[in-house]
């Protein structure tokens, strides 16, 4: 489709018009670099020997912001999952698929492989601006370059797989395990499996993963509204290029649109730059489509073309309300967005509140199968099994006492219990009373007892209370 003299504006000096302008593609590259650096160095950062984030199935612990939680304290995981999903929903409501275009590992990996390795490094692709044209693989030279590209990406995929594992197996353990790979084949197999998937995904599946496999593209439409920011073509300035413009979210799955002749006076030059640059192979002028990942490559392409005519881009990072319907400025702080961020704030506060109540000692108390033991002189004993766990990063010496009944005392164990960091200890504990606690001829009496357990060397920080039941026998059993 050729541009005509009627609809082609007069050209000007493009360099002057674009002076000081930085493309979204360059901004994304810098964002990708920052995200990559953060993802690689985060597993290595520790606070008092604890990691920023680590979900260790090996040691059955969760490290969060330098605090270690035992698996019995994983009540925090639902809050983390809620933060993840609510965060994605909020970002989508405001900025569309900004996650996909700016932070998704799949997109970052594809940019590294396609734009850097294939295009810049090996010259297998001629231009970054043309992502529609695949390399000519009939040439022997290109076949060699393709093999080299795959090998280079395979090495990076191994690094990415290892980095992924570092969030579940800390680097210090990871490399220690690799010294004896045959003893840790599950770990090795997992790393190799993830790396192999990344090679198949990035080299062969490409953006088809985003379009056909990733579930996010299928749910995005229900999160959009007229104020959602996305890559939008302006049909009023550029002209209707296709029959039935598709910026209706209810029509985003409609693929067939008939090509029209460019309207007289329309600014679109039909240069197809916005089409050839698209990594998911769509025409943004058809309107909203589920394949769009908000990478804004089409915005950059149209900006450079329209700059030659001293006109702003026909494809903008804007909302339907502002760029298509011309119904006023985009409203960023609207009911839906405020609701999302309100719930996010509540969940975040709850997460910190729950995390601040972390117990540095876990204690489970189970009653023995024997209800009680009677001894001469009216002495009654109850047996319990105490399971201690030191969840702190240093050893502690623990003891415990009865706080709500001075007639009941602990007769075993006599000495405090020392437990190393991360270790557990089982102790048989005997509570005894020498004084009558109740009088009943027909039934045993259950007496509530409160146990206070604490670390002798850090009583202010490590102290917990548990409730248990002391069974006192009926008078007939006490006289036997």
CA distances from 323 to 84, 148, 403 (A): 30, 44, 70
- Please give the pLDDT value at position 163: 96
Secondary-structure percent of the chain, ordered helix, strand, coil, rounded to 5: 40, 20, 40
Whether residues 313 and 379 share a domain: the answer is no
- Please give the pLDDT value at position 361: 80
Whether residues 316 and 400 share a domain: the answer is no
Domain end residue (candidates: 327, 350, 381): 327
| 425 touches 419 (CB < 8 A) | yes
Number of domains in the chain: 2
Answer yes or no: is 73 within a domain.
Answer: no
CA distances from 329 to 306, 317, 325 (A): 23, 13, 11
Whether residues 323 and 366 share a domain: the answer is no
Answer yes or no: is 82 within a domain.
Answer: no
Distance CA 59, CA 44 (A): 17
Whether residues 321 and 415 share a domain: the answer is no
Distance CA 227, CA 250 (A): 16
Question: Per-residue confidence of the chain (480 residues) as pLDDT tens digits?
Answer: 444 445 555 666 667 677 778 899 999 999 999 999 999 999 999 988 889 999 888 877 888 888 777 766 667 778 888 888 888 888 888 888 888 999 999 999 999 999 999 999 999 998 888 888 888 888 999 999 999 999 999 999 999 999 999 999 999 999 999 999 999 999 999 999 999 999 999 999 998 898 888 888 777 777 888 899 999 999 889 988 876 555 444 444 444 455 555 667 789 988 899 999 999 999 998 888 888 899 999 999 999 999 988 899 999 999 988 888 888 899 988 888 899 899 999 988 887 777 666 667 888 888 888 888 888 888 899 999 998 888 777 889 998 899 888 888 998 888 898 988 878 889 899 999 988 887 877 788 888 999 998 888 887 778 888 999 998 888 877 776
> 413 preceded by cis ω (within 30°)?
yes
CB atoms within 10 A of CB 227: 22
CA 116 to chain CA centroid, nearest Å = 26
Answer yes or no: is 309 within a domain.
Answer: yes
Answer yes or no: is 462 within a domain.
Answer: yes
Whether residues 292 and 394 share a domain: the answer is no
- Please give the pLDDT value at position 214: 87
How many residues does the structure list for the chain?
A: 480
E strands, 344-444, are: 361-367, 373-375, 379-390, 396-402, 408-412, 417-419, 424-433
Whether residues 225 and 367 share a domain: the answer is no
- Please give the pLDDT value at position 250: 45
Answer yes or no: is 91 within a domain.
Answer: no
Whether residues 287 and 427 share a domain: the answer is no
Residues 6+ apart with CB under 8 A from 308: 11, 12, 14, 17
Closest CA to 53 of 72, 75, 68: 68
Distance CA 256, CA 249 (A): 15
Whether residues 247 and 389 share a domain: the answer is no
Residue given tokens 């329209």 in the structure block: 306
| 417 touches 449 (CB < 8 A) | no
**Host domain of residue 435:** 361-479
What's the start-to-end Cα distance of the chain, in Å? Answer: 106
CA 147 to chain CA centroid, nearest Å = 33
Whether residues 245 and 371 share a domain: the answer is no
Region of 165 (left: φ > 0; alpha: ψ -120 to 50; beta: rest) is: alpha
What CATH number is associated with residue 468?
2.60.40.10
| 118 touches 135 (CB < 8 A) | yes
Q: Model pTM?
A: 0.75
Structure token digits, residue 176: 């220690």
Answer yes or no: is 268 within a domain.
Answer: yes
DSSP code at position 407: T
Answer yes or no: is 407 within a domain.
Answer: yes
Residues 6+ apart with CB under 8 A from 78: none
Distance CA 63, CA 198 (A): 27
Answer yes or no: is 25 within a domain.
Answer: yes
Distance CA 210, CA 277 (A): 17
Distance CA 294, CA 128 (A): 17
Whether residues 272 and 408 share a domain: the answer is no
Whether residues 207 and 263 share a domain: the answer is yes
DSSP code at position 191: H
Whether residues 30 and 162 share a domain: the answer is yes
Domain end residue (candidates: 280, 307, 327): 327
């Amino acid at each position: 489709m050729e541009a005509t003299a009627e609809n082609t504006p007069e050209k000007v000096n493009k360099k002057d018009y674009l002076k000081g302008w930085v493309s979204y593609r360059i901004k994304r590259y810098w964002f990708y670099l920052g995200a990559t650096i953060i993802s690689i160095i985060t597993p290595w950062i520790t606070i008092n020997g604890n990691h920023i984030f680590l979900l260790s199935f090996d040691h059955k612990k969760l490290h969060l912001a330098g605090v270690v939680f035992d698996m019995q304290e994983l009540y925090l995981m639902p809050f983390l999952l809620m933060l993840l999903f609510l965060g994605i929903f909020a970002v989508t409501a405001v900025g569309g698929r900004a996650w996909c275009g700016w932070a998704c590992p799949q997109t970052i990996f594809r940019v590294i492989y396609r734009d850097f390795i294939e295009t810049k490094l090996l010259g297998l692709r001629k231009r970054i601006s043309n992502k529609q044209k695949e390399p000519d693989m009939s040439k022997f030279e290109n076949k060699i370059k393709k093999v080299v590209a795959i090998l280079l990406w395979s090495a990076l995929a191994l690094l990415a797989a290892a980095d992924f594992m570092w969030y579940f197996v800390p680097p210090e353990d990871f490399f220690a395990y690799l010294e004896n790979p045959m003893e840790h084949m599950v770990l090795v197999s997992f790393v190799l499996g993830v790396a192999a998937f990344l090679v198949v995904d990035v080299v062969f599946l490409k953006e088809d993963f985003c379009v056909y496999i990733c579930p996010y593209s299928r749910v995005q439409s229900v999160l959009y509204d007229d104020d959602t920011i996305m890559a939008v073509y302006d049909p009023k300035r550029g002209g209707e290029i296709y029959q039935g413009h598709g910026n209706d979210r209810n029509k985003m799955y409609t693929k067939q649109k008939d090509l029209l002749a460019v309207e007289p006076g329309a600014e679109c030059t039909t240069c197809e730059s916005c089409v050839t640059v698209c990594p998911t192979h769509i025409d943004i002028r058809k309107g909203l489509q589920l394949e769009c990942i908000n990478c804004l490559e089409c915005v950059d392409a149209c900006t450079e073309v329209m700059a030659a005519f001293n006109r702003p881009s026909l494809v903008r990072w804007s909302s339907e309300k502002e760029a298509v319907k011309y119904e006023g400025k985009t409203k960023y702080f609207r009911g839906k967005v405020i609701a999302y961020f309100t719930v996010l704030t509540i969940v975040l506060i709850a997460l910190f509140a729950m995390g601040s109540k972390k117990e540095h000692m876990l204690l489970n108390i189970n009653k023995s199968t024997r209800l009680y033991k009677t001894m001469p002189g009216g002495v009654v004993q109850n047996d319990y099994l105490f399971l201690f766990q030191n969840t702190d990063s240093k050893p502690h010496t623990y003891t415990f006492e009865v706080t709500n009944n001075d007639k009941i005392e602990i007769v075993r164990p006599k000495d405090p219990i020392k437990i190393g960091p991360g270790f557990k200890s089982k102790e048989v504990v005997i509570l005894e009373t020498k004084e009558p606690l109740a009088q009943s001829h027909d039934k045993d009496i259950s007496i509530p007892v409160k146990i206070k357990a604490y670390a002798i060397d850090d009583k202010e920080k490590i102290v917990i209370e548990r409730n248990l039941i002391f069974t006192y026998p009926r008078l007939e059993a006490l006289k036997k």
